[in-house]
């Protein structure tokens, strides 16, 4: 399932387009990101982690959790704070370091 793009948050920086290993993300004429081939997305989340504007969100595939289960990253300089919301609305947060000293 491709990432959800929040159009109001997308700043058109192009990072998601640059980083997608499948070359699936593009900017439209309004400089907003979209996935041009949804069926080809394999949920690697590279684009979601690259977005500094919280404009992308992963919807957890139905095999793992029904809607409204969500996984939302907040990218900081040296860590990502993941917010996981399960199907009952329970919220868990995880911090993952992305840089070593």
In DSSP terms, 83 is beta-bridged to: 72, 93
Q: Would you say 59 and 79 are in contact if contact means Cβ atoms under 8 Å apart?
A: no
**Window of 13-21, 59-67, 70-78, 89-97 that interacts with ligand SF4 by CB under 6 A:** 13-21
- Candidate list 4, 26, 45, 84; residue touching ligand SF4; CB under 6 A: 45
Element at 15 (helix H, strand E): helix 15-19
Interface with ligand SF4, residue 65, by CB under 6 A: no
Q: Would you say 27 and 14 are in contact if contact means Cβ atoms under 8 Å apart?
A: yes
Q: Would you say 57 and 6 are in contact if contact means Cβ atoms under 8 Å apart?
A: yes
- Candidate list 44, 91, 95, 96; residue touching ligand SF4; CB under 6 A: 44
Nearer to ligand SF4, 30 or 101 (CB): 30
Q: Which residues bind ligand SF4 (CB under 6 A)?
A: 2-3, 5, 10-16, 20, 22, 24-25, 33, 35, 41-47, 50-51, 53, 55-56
């Amino acid at each position: 399932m491709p990432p959800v793009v929040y159009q109001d948050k997308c700043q058109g920086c192009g990072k998601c387009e640059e980083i997608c290993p499948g070359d699936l993300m593009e900017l439209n004429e309004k400089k907003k990101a979209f996935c041009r081939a949804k069926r080809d997305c394999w949920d690697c989340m590279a684009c979601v982690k690259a977005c500094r504007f919280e404009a992308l969100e992963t919807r957890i595939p139905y095999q793992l959790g029904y809607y409204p289960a969500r996984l939302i990253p907040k990218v900081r300089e040296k860590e990502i704070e993941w917010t996981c919301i399960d199907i009952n609305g329970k919220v868990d947060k995880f911090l993952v370091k992305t840089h070593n000293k």
